[in-house]
Amino acid sequence: MNVSIEMEGRSVSHKAFMVVLANASKYGTGAVINPHGDLYDGLFEVVIVRRLALSELFKMIFKPQPFDPKKIQLYQANAVTITTARAVHFQVDGEYLGKVKQVNAIMLKGQLNLIVPQSVLPENEMANA
């Protein structure tokens, strides 16, 4: 698919097999889609899979390593608009939402508050609890 991506004053266009917006580093299956993922940095990564290659799948599933930029490119952003030339299949966290031509996403840092026992907090977080 042909995609145009607007993010924070810059624009890129690519032919892509798949575009992923990821905050965490892994899918629920454990496959690494975003080696630079940091849940606390207020940014998500735009992962553009230009070509699905066996070598890159191996890195995602078995041995996390930097991706080949000719096959997979990463950009960081806190807001993004993705536009495609034609409607394409779209899903959010595994839920199929149909075909769309545009997706807008904004990172809302610190919007999810959790209540957990102190015994499960990392040591650096206990001081803030």
Can you give the residue range of the structural domain that contains 88? Answer: 2-126
Q: How confident is the model at residue 111 (pLDDT cuts 50, 70, 90)?
A: confident
Classify residue 123 by its DSSP letter.
H
Domains of the chain: total = 1
Cα(90)–Cα(96) distance, integer angstroms? 6
pLDDT of residue 16: 92
* Beta carbons of 3 and 75 less than 8 angstroms apart: no
Q: Which residues make beta-bridge pairs with 22? A: 45
* Beta carbons of 48 and 70 less than 8 angstroms apart: no
Q: Which of 111, 120, 97, 88 is nearest to 23 (CA)?
A: 111
* Beta carbons of 79 and 53 less than 8 angstroms apart: no
Model confidence pLDDT, tens digit, residues 40-98: 888 888 988 887 776 666 666 666 777 777 888 889 999 999 999 999 998 877 788 89
Pairing of strands 18-22, 10-15: unpaired
Model confidence pLDDT, tens digit, residues 1-45: 999 999 988 999 999 988 988 888 877 777 777 887 888 888 888
Q: What angle do CA 102, 32, 9 make, to 5 degrees?
A: 40
**Token pair belonging to 49:** 């899979």
Cα(52)–Cα(56) distance, integer angstroms? 7
pLDDT of residue 85: 92
Q: Report CA-CA distances (Å) from 23 to 16, 40, 45, 93.
A: 20, 9, 6, 11
Q: How confident is the model at residue 124 (pLDDT cuts 50, 70, 90)?
A: low
Kindly report the CATH number assigned to the domain that includes residue 27. 2.60.200.40
